[in-house]
A and B are shown apart, each in its own frame.
Chain A
């Protein structure tokens, strides 16, 4: 017993160091995406309200640009409406997905794992795994939800994988971030026989249930033409400008539970 006390006293510093580091590492591991969502949620509840206050002030500075964007969007929608009227009276509504507008209150683009905080939470029906899009294209997936806030794993995240589809040949490929620049991502696993040229457009495939199909992801910037590989990787330019993100839409799949139950049966 005495020896134990002597030992503890002698190595107290190292023991405290080891204890604190282990504690930190446990927290880090538990907050990794999809593993433990509770921990980050608690943090969000504390800091969310402060971030939303600062975001409120910031919004005034961006009002002009926002107005322009909204009016542009308005114009596009108006033109679509007139097109539809001209076609016929029966409008097919897509009631598989509903879109809920939300506000970005905290956003980062220059880390390896970037997250966005939005001002809609479980009180508004937001659940983890829901997709988030904006007028320009895809934004990310919801990972944590508190009563009034949700944190979104942005496409700019080393864990993010999005299922994309080429508009001209319908082939499906995975889109990841290259971790270097917020404007560019990588398209992996493209079969090498496909002719991919600069300017090809990628949209979401709609296979993941998080995103509706045909939401813009980006355009091809360049390809590495290595003839020996069975698959090629292409550089992609995101259509979404992540640095000026303010208004986003949370995508709710109205038949999520039904689709999930089908998957479980299989």
Chain B
């Protein structure tokens, strides 16, 4: 129990640090803001309840917000995808596929499933985030463009991270 909790806390701090001190300091290009911290939401176990997911997402989003000076912005988008995560998973998976599996990982679910999973979560997340940031539908074109260019970059980074930090024993 404690080792599981410790693992989650370390994962939380690691992904947060990666977002704030590495990804946020790289200028990928205009309108490209990779939200790599969404990976933490993606990695939580299948059986975690929506409430648990949302609380996790809220704390994560707020932590990112505090460092960006945008209270509530990232938190709102992250809570929304945490709420939608179970529905998105059931949308793209058959019940039988989930048997005996605890965590959504590339090894268990396959690369194609994983990319689709990341894609759906990130589209909802980025669209909410950028819309809230712009706070008007006048800029909707720009918001769409931002989402369109940010999501693929984020997915590539997330897949790379997952491959780099893959546990050795689960070859």
Chain A residues packing against B (C-beta within 8 Å)? 12-13, 16-17, 20-21, 23-28, 30-32, 39-40, 43-44, 46-47, 50, 54, 110-113, 115, 117, 151, 158, 179-182, 243
Known A-B contacts A20-B79, A110-B31; the reply to A179 vs B142 at CB < 8 A is: yes
Assuming A20-B58, A43-B66, is B139 touching A31 (CB within 8 A)?
A: no
Question: Are A158 and B139 touching (Cβ within 8 A)?
Answer: yes
Whole-angstrom CA separation of A14 from B127 in the bound complex: 21
Cα(A216)–Cα(B93), bound, Å:
58
A158 to B133, CA, bound (A): 10
Q: What CA separation (Å) do A92 and B66 show in the bound complex?
A: 46
Give chain B residues whose Cβ lies under 8 Å from the Cβ of A32: 135
Q: Which residues of A contact B125 (CB under 8 A)?
A: none
- Chain B's closest residue to A16 (CB) is B51
Task: Evaluate contact between A110 and B32: CB separation under 8 angstroms.
Answer: yes
Q: Which 3 A-B pairs have the closest CB atoms?
A: A27-B72, A24-B76, A24-B72
Q: Assuming A112-B139, A158-B139, what are 4 further A-B pairs, CB within 8 angstroms?
A: A12-B51, A28-B132, A111-B133, A179-B139
User: Assuming A25-B76, A27-B75, A182-B30, is B69 touching A115 (CB within 8 A)?
Assistant: yes
B71 touching A31 by the CB < 8 A rule?
Answer: yes
Q: How many A-B residue pairs lie within 8 Å, measured between CB atoms?
A: 95
The distance in angstroms between the C-alpha atoms of A62 and B65, with both chains bound, is: 28
Interface contact B67-A47, CB-CB below 8 Å:
yes
In contact, A117 and B50 (Cβ under 8 angstroms): no
Contacts of B25 in A (CB 8 A): 54
Q: Once the chains bind, are A21 and B51 in contact (CB under 8 Å)?
A: no
Residues of B close to A24: CB separation below 8 A: 58, 61, 72-73, 75-76, 79
The chain B residue sitting closest to A15, CB to CB, is: B51
- Min C-beta distance of B143 to chain A, whole Å: 8
Minimum distance in angstroms from A137 CB to a CB of chain B: 20
B7 within 8 A of A: no
Q: A17-B54, A182-B30 are in contact. Are A47 and B72 (CB under 8 A)?
A: no
| Residues of chain A within 8 A of B73, CB atoms compared | 24, 28
Task: Tell me what chain A mostly uses at the interface: helix, strand, loop, or mixed.
Answer: helix
Closest to A36 in B: B71
CA distance A181 to B145 in the complex (A): 13
Q: How far is the CA of A43 from the CA of B32 in the complex (A)?
A: 24
Looking across the interface, which residue of chain A has its beta carbon closest to that of B65?
A43
Query: Which residues in A have their C-beta under 8 angstroms from that of B135?
Result: 28, 32
Contact of A43 among B69, B76, B83, B142 (CB under 8 A): B69
The residue on B at minimum CB distance from A117 is: B69
Contact of A112 among B32, B65, B134 (CB under 8 A): B134
- 12 A–B contact pairs at CB < 8 A? A12-B51, A16-B50, A17-B79, A20-B75, A25-B72, A25-B76, A46-B66, A54-B25, A110-B33, A112-B130, A112-B133, A179-B142
Contact B31 A21 (CB under 8 A): no
Q: Mark B115-134, 1 if CB is under 8 A from A, else 0.
A: 00000000000000010111
Q: Does B137 contact A (CB under 8 A)?
A: no
Contact B72 A31 (CB under 8 A): yes
A28's partner among B32, B69, B71, B142 (CB-CB below 8 A) is: B71
Task: Kindly state whether residue B80 has any CB partner on chain A within 8 Å.
Answer: yes
CB-CB under 8 A from A182, the residues of chain B are 30
| Contact pattern, B 51-70, Cβ under 8 Å of A = 1, otherwise 0 | 10011001001000111011
Instruction: Knowing A27-B72, A179-B142 are in contact, say whether A16-B54 is a contact too (CB < 8 A).
Output: yes
For the complex, what is the distance from the CA of A27 to the CA of B33, rounded to whole Å? 21
Q: What A residues does B76 contact at CB under 8 A?
A: 21, 24-25, 28
